[in-house]
Structure 1
């Protein structure tokens, strides 16, 4: 190939990429009758087993051919409704809307544990702000006042009275239920009149004591799509006690404390609230993916408890409670997509039966020294388990562990083993010094000893957080969410501007299974939506990657007009326009939180994508000037190297919404909540190799 032709081809590919990723590309004009046809097909064939193109009428095919092939704009619109409750000036909604609109709310979805960290799909905010009725704020104020009057002062909480979150949540949920017909997430900003005594919300039963920490907060995320933030509550503080990122400080420096401290002008107050909305949008509405997750029909969690011979104490390790947390959401239509099924298996093994387990623990023990001031400075040596070394040994010895614990082989599906090491030690032993449970991309590891409590390196409301080290239900729920669905903890966010993971504990209180400040293991809409959205985003991103590979091949052969014959050219244009239409419909369905319909369109688009690959491959075989697999690679078109059989199902060829071979299995992916993260090294794509 000459230098000039190489330059032209490279330019063509780059233009195609820019068009594909440009959010301002014109949307596909609606084709009369195509929407109703695809809707009918989704009812007749909800699993998209059949190729819908073969059932198209001649008029629809003609309409598809008359449309010029263009690159789709894949941008998910996120509807957000903000309700101002209480003492807000009448023009607050206009000014707040202006402040939020001036903030960059359109960006790519990101992945923390994968390189590159951004996906090709973007998101944008669709904002609506309104004032609530005065009766709602009056009812909330009176309810909180009644609770404060009934709460006696305590020595440990002398500055803030604890109000049970449920008394406010019940009222807010009743108001939200009236709006359920409206699509999107609701954020209630409560600016109520000042109470005689300061207060904040508690999220569990009982009061805080010297042995049990009850962190107070001012936010709540519901199981349905609503959030409420009480700006009059607090000020509260929680985060790292000694050093580290993500602390929510006491005072008026954080947007949650905007009403506390020195008086502020209306514009300054609303600027703080705009910052708070931006943070909630980034962390709760469009959270980063922890890892890419592909669609699997069967999801299996294998609980494997490894213990001493006489250790039969299961308190704090209630498998049924962990299972119930997930299965309750599954039965309510959350977490799973399509015909997915979710199963739990429970296994048991002693260290005597599993010698490699004893070896793994002994090889993973590390120590560190700490300096404490008693009468004088004293050095204390403590031990911990290195989770990465433990993960490596367990990965290498999986067959031996399965044999010792009598673990049954799963023929297919995504299987996440959860190893819990119940050690007969009287001293404290954590993973990587700080964690009870650590999530990896292929397993979860947890540990506990006979030690029941420890003072953590976190604090809330002026006191250190006491960790109940034998209670593993909440840590296990959070780790399973990360490994099985790629759900990122509510205090982690990938920032492309910083090119690193940011830590912010603002939203890690209340209803979240992540972080040391939450008491509950139940899931909010944030985790439930993220679990399903992550699978769809991964599938969409892989589809875009494969389509770009095809563009590269077409550009290398002078364009589809030159490469394809007349009959093939017509089918190519029709297939491409139909594929583009389905992808845009999938994105539209995700904007409306209709994840099932989005899954249908993604599955259905696999047939068109496969057909496009087939047309290009057969044309290149006819031309004979360049091997298709030289550029695209065998992993991008599994099973096609030896030729394509007519009528082959694209699912059988690997076109099932996944890109086989794209995710590297090399290296360990530690998904520990607070440690510095490794990234999965992705091999250069065929497109990158071609451009080089």
Structure 2
């Protein structure tokens, strides 16, 4: 009897210990955001599960019948709603299923175009949307991260009432790891242990639409314990609390110190649209096209209080908000996820040689020398370019300097390319003032520099690594022979030379042929980057469209000089953007991104109506090297994916 009671007491004690351990495990897990429970259902690729049969039929029809244009390609877009499930600012709630259905009906397909030809591509994306909310713990974790990195930046005026309120700025690169953690948690990327290339599925892309509670994450309020709110039930807001949800302050993002914005492209495979940030204003001065205003993005305050602070309950305002949100998602797809391509065809050769040729008219400094603000980093450029090509392609980047006066034709081409145009600006007196501005025409430089590219590149390659010279270039010795050459010499002629000799018998070229002419070997593509490092030039000298890079299909031209910062005709809030002519790294990466990967700037889009590219500056900020609002030399993984599939 005594042994039986002892056994029952031991069993009760064991059950008690198991219960305690379970509660401890549960309490540990509930105190952490981004923690996946074992029984939680995983996200899946609905695009490729739902439209797999249609893709197979499209492939079969294309292979066994005449090519059908455009070819239907599925495109999956994941829209993650953060703080829009009754737990964010204004406790606003968006039905994710209704938004998904609205997107499916309103924007079912997208067909990219080519900026070079202004014609649509031969593919059309069948867009499949996945829209779902994020949890409250992840929302609070993001608010805590933002609150910790907000930096006071003076004051700003509210767009509605004109009041001056405190301004805070958020460095987007500081909170990007927390968003990346949310991305990995939602799509279960890290826990699988597989890289993007090893997985048998495309890597997902995401649009994070955020609605933070500004009162809860006010950096001036040190009393709010955000950790305690992760799993606690949030109390509803009163009418007075609803009116105070803006928090009497404004915050904006800057990606790596670029232009102020409330949307930004990350270095990963997601973009962030923060409805509670800003509003922000940026664009080109005295030009309405593409400008971002306080009304570009929807604001929940305007939905709830359209006529001021008087509470209005109108279903039409919520429908307008849903439509505005869906249009914002469609714009993101067109400019970032599946944007237009810069060039119609991208040459997929086995070897890619990129000589960075510095042409300078001075001996004062050399941007190839490391350790200066104006220095370029060849290794960093090579790392970014390798992300734009496939694994089986060999990339070699070499760099070297040449004195411009040693190349007479190049020096003449630079002189001829100096052009001027009149510019009208409104000064402080309210009148138009006309003045002339000098710029460098890249199209004129292109023709002459292309002729010298192979010779200069071969010389740099010979100096850098002689063993690679014969691999990338073929030196033709047949050129100094007479026209009556033997068959053994003809074997060394390239095919195009024999073809030209047959076709143009009556039109013999009078140009003297040079001995030892150079040609890239078969399977080699050479994209020279000419960096014009000039001294004693106009301090305001730029290239066309107020840039420092000109990009062709097979050449990149970059301008560099040591003049002070140049004010541009682009404005962010109340301040002009400035260009730094001494820093060529970002412009080199931007040019190679277009020439190698066929990437266009995220703010450009081909327009068949205008017969030119039109701009939308909404996505001008973020992890890309394009435009006046960017300030990084890196390329987002989302744009890398575009380059690899284009």
TM interval, short-chain normalised: 0.5 to 0.7
How far, CA to CA, are the matches of 1:256 and 1:323 in structure 2? 42
Partner of 1:417: 528
How far, CA to CA, are the matches of 1:243 and 1:363 in structure 2? 30
Query: Where do 1:52-451 residues align within 5 Å?
Result: 69-70=64-65, 74-88=71-85, 92-114=95-117, 117-148=119-150, 151-154=151-154, 160-181=167-188, 183-195=203-215, 196=247, 197-204=249-256, 214-243=258-287, 245-249=289-293, 251-252=294-295, 254-255=296-297, 263=305, 265-291=317-343, 292-314=345-367, 315-320=372-377, 323-327=379-383, 330=386, 334-370=387-423, 373=427, 379-398=434-453, 409=473, 410-412=520-522, 413-427=524-538, 428-432=540-544, 434-451=546-563
Deviations 1:559-585 (A, max 9, x none): xxxxxxxxxxxxxxxxxxxxxxxxxxx
How far, CA to CA, are the matches of 1:287 and 1:444 in structure 2? 21
Work out whether residues 291 and 616 of structure 2, in 8 Å CA contact, stay in contact via their aligned partners in 1.
yes
Residue 422 of structure 1: how far off its partner (Å) = 1.0
Residue 383 of structure 1: how far off its partner (Å) = 1.7
Which of 496, 502, 526 is 2:614 aligned to?
A: 502
Per the alignment, do residues 169 and 396 of structure 1 end up closer, same or farther by CA in structure 2, a change over 3 Å counting?
closer
Per the alignment, do residues 133 and 144 of structure 1 end up closer, same or farther by CA in structure 2, a change over 3 Å counting?
same
Work out whether residues 83 and 139 of structure 2, in 8 Å CA contact, stay in contact via their aligned partners in 1.
yes
Per the alignment, do residues 344 and 256 of structure 1 end up closer, same or farther by CA in structure 2, a change over 3 Å counting?
farther
Pairwise CA RMSD: 3.3
Per the alignment, do residues 96 and 311 of structure 1 end up closer, same or farther by CA in structure 2, a change over 3 Å counting?
same
- Return 5+ residue gaps in structure 2 as ranges: 1-50, 86-91, 158-164, 190-202, 216-246, 307-316, 463-468, 474-519
Residue 290 of structure 1: how far off its partner (Å) = 0.6
Per the alignment, do residues 325 and 92 of structure 1 end up closer, same or farther by CA in structure 2, a change over 3 Å counting?
farther
- Return 5+ residue gaps in structure 1 as ranges: 1-22, 32-63, 206-213, 535-692
How far, CA to CA, are the matches of 2:120 and 2:594 in structure 1? 18
Secondary structure of 2:342's partner? coil
Per the alignment, do residues 448 and 259 of structure 1 end up closer, same or farther by CA in structure 2, a change over 3 Å counting?
farther
Deviates more, 1:427-436 or 1:270-279: 427-436
Residue 184 of structure 1: how far off its partner (Å) = 2.0
How far, CA to CA, are the matches of 1:419 and 1:118 in structure 2? 31
2:560 aligned with 1:457, yes or no?
A: no
How far, CA to CA, are the matches of 2:147 and 2:347 in structure 1? 49
Higher-Rg member (1/2) = 2
Per the alignment, do residues 415 and 105 of structure 1 end up closer, same or farther by CA in structure 2, a change over 3 Å counting?
farther
Work out whether residues 111 and 120 of structure 2, in 8 Å CA contact, stay in contact via their aligned partners in 1.
yes
Work out whether residues 79 and 207 of structure 2, in 8 Å CA contact, stay in contact via their aligned partners in 1.
yes
Work out whether residues 385 and 433 of structure 1, in 8 Å CA contact, stay in contact via their aligned partners in 2.
no
Residue 533 of structure 1: how far off its partner (Å) = 0.8
How far, CA to CA, are the matches of 1:391 and 1:258 in structure 2? 50
Secondary structure of 1:419's partner? strand
Per the alignment, do residues 258 and 285 of structure 1 end up closer, same or farther by CA in structure 2, a change over 3 Å counting?
farther
Work out whether residues 55 and 74 of structure 2, in 8 Å CA contact, stay in contact via their aligned partners in 1.
no
Query: Where do 1:626-637 residues align within 5 Å?
Result: none
How far, CA to CA, are the matches of 1:166 and 1:448 in structure 2? 27
Work out whether residues 362 and 535 of structure 2, in 8 Å CA contact, stay in contact via their aligned partners in 1.
no
Partner of 1:470: 582
Residue 244 of structure 1: how far off its partner (Å) = 5.5
Residue 469 of structure 1: how far off its partner (Å) = 1.4
Query: Where do 1:627-666 residues align within 5 Å?
Result: none
Secondary structure of 2:364's partner? coil
How far, CA to CA, are the matches of 2:424 and 2:175 in structure 1? 45
How far, CA to CA, are the matches of 1:98 and 1:90 in structure 2? 16
Per the alignment, do residues 70 and 308 of structure 1 end up closer, same or farther by CA in structure 2, a change over 3 Å counting?
closer
Residue 482 of structure 1: how far off its partner (Å) = 0.5
How far, CA to CA, are the matches of 1:27 and 1:153 in structure 2? 52
2:580 aligned with 1:527, yes or no?
A: no
Deviations 1:99-149 (A, max 9, x none): 21222331333211136x12222211111111111112222223333444x
Compute the TM-score of the two structures, normalised by the length of structure 1: 0.61
How far, CA to CA, are the matches of 1:432 and 1:398 in structure 2? 22
How far, CA to CA, are the matches of 2:182 and 2:545 in structure 1? 45
How far, CA to CA, are the matches of 1:215 and 1:514 in structure 2? 12
How far, CA to CA, are the matches of 2:544 and 2:108 in structure 1? 36
Work out whether residues 28 and 72 of structure 1, in 8 Å CA contact, stay in contact via their aligned partners in 2.
no
Per the alignment, do residues 234 and 460 of structure 1 end up closer, same or farther by CA in structure 2, a change over 3 Å counting?
same
